[in-house]
Amino acid sequence: MEITQDGPFLIIERDGSVARFPADLNDDLEELQDQDIYVTVAGDPTYYLSLMTLDAIGTVLRRWAQTGEATASRYYCELDLVITPRPGITATIEAIDGLIRAGDIARACWSPRTLMPAWSTRSRRTCPARRGRDAAPTGAVSKQAVLLA
């Protein structure tokens, strides 16, 4: 896997896709646990996703318990969240490759061109967990994580 630096972004080109994310080549890339990424797939628009580990989500929840955010850390809800089982750029690229191979990238992510997840008929600010009957269509990848404390 070849990684190049382009200004503030690292670029990883794979078969038919390019991932761009803010980081530095001097960072320990196998320790990444919370990363926003733009993925361009040949013939498709550019998609946006947030990749996090469960440990990273736990860190956010502990901080929010102290600050009172999200009802003092009673939940975590984020659209376009992909959770990886382990940290690092290798796990990140494996997750992206898996989404592309399975054909789930358009359902799992939103395109900045449309500013909506592919499955959404509402503003991306609406958390699907709160939409009840208007949740993602059957078979769509749910793009929020709701963890109850």
pLDDT in tens, 93-138: 999 999 999 999 988 887 866 555 444 443 333 343 333 333 333 3
Non-local (6+) Cβ contacts of 24 within 8 A are 5, 10
Kindly compute the dihedral angle of the four CA atoms of residues 46, 24, 89, 64, in this order, to the nearest 10 degrees: -90
Q: How far apart are CA 44 and CA 119, in angstroms?
A: 15
Q: Give this prediction's pTM.
A: 0.70
Q: How far apart are CA 126 and CA 79, in angstroms?
A: 9
pLDDT tens figures, 16-73: 899 999 999 999 999 999 999 999 998 888 999 999 999 999 999 999 899 988 787 7
SS3 assignment, position 63: helix
Question: Is the CA virtual torsion 119, 120, 124, 128 positive or negative?
Answer: negative
Contact criterion met (CB below 8 Å) for 65 and 140: no
- Nearest alpha carbon to residue 16 among 37, 50, 43, 46: 43
- Nearest alpha carbon to residue 57 among 24, 19, 85: 85
